[in-house]
Chains A and B, each alone.
Chain A
């Protein structure tokens, strides 16, 4: 766990500006930040006209057209939808590892995504989770909420085990507005990870999974004889480290990631792996490149 009091310092803010610029360049043909819902409604952008029928709101009648055509024509606007973004940040003990810690990396990503989202008038919620939901920042909208989000993220801490399934069951057990669920976690979850994703999928939420791993997890460097102690449950496993064993580890890790990636691909979700040893903005850009966070 990072004890840094200045996790979101000026340097971080400069990087956010860079990300914002990069996001604009990557999506030149679209309005940045505004997400149009498929539902027509009470927006401000004219989408179409139709004849007036009884019961329609007379405020949408195009009176100028009535004067010209002597017909009651109703203006139809695209309803301007707020995109709810649910940022699920894993705060289990395993996230405290790495230099910088995976937790700090995940918080910075959450901060960046919050910043981008709030700048685009999205509805941002941040959820701490371990074995359960440990903290929740209620949905916020508007650019002036960014520092509230930063303070919430800055106050986070690590500890305990992980259960995304329990978290999703609790969180999506209540009625939530459909949106984008972003999971920032190492995905070292003993429980049914794909079952947790299903809980999200059944509620018709979009989802983006970011697996944050340290360089040591991606390429372990261990002594020949090692007694591995799990930081979350304290379980111990004695291993005699050989190149062959490390290959098997790499394969097992790849299988674990492929399983998640395959699931996400099948259901149209996003998935990427972030190396906590690399700059967090690279991981954010990778998310943008998937064309899911910004529509």
Chain B
């Protein structure tokens, strides 16, 4: 026979019971002293009675006290009949896939059901059992067998995890090669069969799957209009997975922006089929945007009912043109109504005292400054600096004809959808005085990414960190770019790309931001715990929300949303036809009996008290 309670708890229960019984004897009323002429007759009576009755009275008292004590001990210890309790080494694999967060019609979530199943398994097992608690995410479970209490505490630390690949862990591998524990251990898998449909042979499977209706946002993006980077539209995709007889199938979409701007749509997606919708964000200003959907019936997963985005555009750009008067640049920049232009003369001291708070962007044509300016830079020209990509030397650096005219090289493969170049036509662009960048040096280790060029020559490069910058390998004034029809669009995009608030969209779970040093804040300004991973900052973004990463003069907005078609489909389970596991495994009977046992003990103590006063006990 095992016991559901810990030995220390049992010992405490025994001591407590003994103490109560002793106290009950102590608190009995003291006899009233009476002086009698002689105890001669009383002695004879008592001696005779003692001989006859005391044994039985003592026996009765002892039996009642023992029964009361036994009942209390059983209530505390929760004994488990032999054979009903699990014993030995037990490996419990918890399904921590996002679908486990599905809310059930009867209350709670699948995870709650799974945790309760495991909790009952733990409490119903024998005291000597050992447990290894694993999860399907693979990094939050244990590595060695622990006791019941430790397993219960470890269970509290687990929960559905987003943004991970979920699979059944290799138990034998986790236990290490040569471990003989794996074959001897009993392995139990508790899940819903959505993300992890199969378990190895020999694994006992406990299903908590129950079909639930759900509607979710599977895509949400705020993007500038191609024709006008200063205006935005939202693209949203909604999917609906009803259970059984569907209701009206109406999904109400609400998009809210900064300053009270909002848009509302009523959508009717077909069951199981994503429905895309583009919503012009007319009247929306720069700032956070939130999309929320609502349905009339049950909704299984709240996490996919909301999505976040950010309108990054600035309404006013303070641009410093370095290099003296430049008609091309001045004319081009002043075409953009956002630009407030100032000009600085050429020379190394032009940027020496630059205040990052007073300028949003520096445009440099000609010789590059020695140090990288503390604000985003748009550079066009020749010459080298440590912060610029290295250039090719000799003739190779000047591709083109005898007059030094070079044809604009094509867009590098993979950069066709770059926000700067998407849908632009620069095929007729020509440039002179080109000192091409060394394309071979712009690899993975370089902060620069080549946008225009080929495998050898680089004409346009961009970098993301620590500040966004663009570098042309030739002076703009020595090219016909300003004469191209798409040049105003290119320049406008470049201004937006360089100065816009950087927005990073992430799924739920652990998020990373490319930032060497900084802190993460949530939408309310509270700092979120984070840690550095090389040149990145990692933090937990388990809830759909906007986060702000700030450090080194940069700010990155992180929009965390689920946006996962698979996660929104909560009923795609391989175990759909199976009934959910019973929530009353063997052994819990003892747990359910403890109130009755405690009540029985109380009744016995009361009976003993009454019996004492009726002189039936001693």
Which A residues are closer than 8 A to B by beta carbons? 93-97, 102, 186, 188-190, 214, 217, 222-233, 235, 237-240, 242, 245, 248-249, 252-253, 256
Q: How far is the CA of A94 from the CA of B37 in the complex (A)?
A: 4
Contact (Cβ within 8 A) A242 B36: no
Residues of A with C-beta under 8 A to B42:
228, 237, 239, 249
B38: interface (CB < 8 Å): yes
Contact (Cβ within 8 A) B37 A229: no
Q: How far is the CA of A147 from the CA of B201 in the complex (A)?
A: 119
Contact (Cβ within 8 A) A245 B45: yes
Q: How far is the CA of A191 from the CA of B40 in the complex (A)?
A: 10
CB contact between B39 and one of A237, A245, A256 (< 8 Å): that residue: A237
Give per-residue flags for B248-268: 1 if the beta carbon is below 8 A from chain A beta carbons, else 0.
Answer: 000000000000000000000
- State which residues 376-422 of B face A: CB under 8 Å: none
Residues of B with C-beta under 8 A to A227:
31-34
Q: How far is the CA of A20 from the CA of B520 in the complex (A)?
A: 123
A231-B34 CB under 8 A given contacts A239-B42, A248-B49, A252-B45: no
B615: interface (CB < 8 Å): yes
Q: How far is the CA of A91 from the CA of B5 in the complex (A)?
A: 69
Contact (Cβ within 8 A) A228 B34: yes
B526: interface (CB < 8 Å): no
Contact (Cβ within 8 A) A190 B36: no
Contact (Cβ within 8 A) B45 A249: yes
A selection of 15 A-B contacts at a CB cut-off of 8 Å is A188-B40, A190-B40, A225-B29, A226-B34, A229-B39, A230-B39, A232-B38, A233-B39, A235-B39, A239-B31, A242-B615, A245-B45, A249-B41, A253-B41, A256-B44
- Shortest Cβ distance from B560 into chain A, in angstroms? 75
Residues of A with C-beta under 8 A to B165:
none
Interface residues on B, range: 20 to 34
Contact (Cβ within 8 A) A94 B38: yes
- Shortest Cβ distance from B149 into chain A, in angstroms? 48
- State which residues 552-576 of B face A: CB under 8 Å: none
B30: interface (CB < 8 Å): yes
Secondary structure at the A interface, as helix, strand, loop or mixed, is mixed
Secondary structure at the B interface, as helix, strand, loop or mixed, is mixed
- Shortest Cβ distance from B429 into chain A, in angstroms? 115
Question: What residue in chain B is nearest A249 (Cβ atoms)?
Answer: B45
A188-B44 CB under 8 A given contacts A227-B32, A227-B33, A248-B49: no
B445: interface (CB < 8 Å): no
Which B residues are closer than 8 A to A by beta carbons? 29-46, 48-49, 613, 615
Contact (Cβ within 8 A) B41 A252: yes
Q: How far is the CA of A8 from the CA of B35 in the complex (A)?
A: 29
A217-B33 CB under 8 A given contacts A228-B42, A249-B42, A249-B45: no
Residues of A with C-beta under 8 A to B41:
188, 217, 249, 252-253, 256
CB contact between B38 and one of A186, A223, A226 (< 8 Å): that residue: A186
Residues of A with C-beta under 8 A to B40:
188-190, 256
Contact (Cβ within 8 A) B37 A186: yes
Contact (Cβ within 8 A) A252 B44: yes
Residues of B with C-beta under 8 A to A93:
37
- Shortest Cβ distance from B614 into chain A, in angstroms? 8
CB contact between A252 and one of B35, B48, B613 (< 8 Å): that residue: B48
- Shortest Cβ distance from B207 into chain A, in angstroms? 64
Contact (Cβ within 8 A) A230 B45: no
Contact (Cβ within 8 A) A226 B32: yes
- Shortest Cβ distance from A234 into chain B, in angstroms? 10
Residues of B with C-beta under 8 A to A252:
41, 44-45, 48
Residues of A with C-beta under 8 A to B44:
252, 256
Q: How far is the CA of A179 from the CA of B49 in the complex (A)?
A: 42
A239-B32 CB under 8 A given contacts A186-B37, A228-B39, A230-B39: no
Residues of A with C-beta under 8 A to B29:
225
CB contact between B34 and one of A102, A190, A223 (< 8 Å): that residue: A223
- Shortest Cβ distance from B46 into chain A, in angstroms? 6
Residues of A with C-beta under 8 A to B615:
240, 242
Question: What residue in chain A is nearest B35 (Cβ atoms)?
Answer: A229
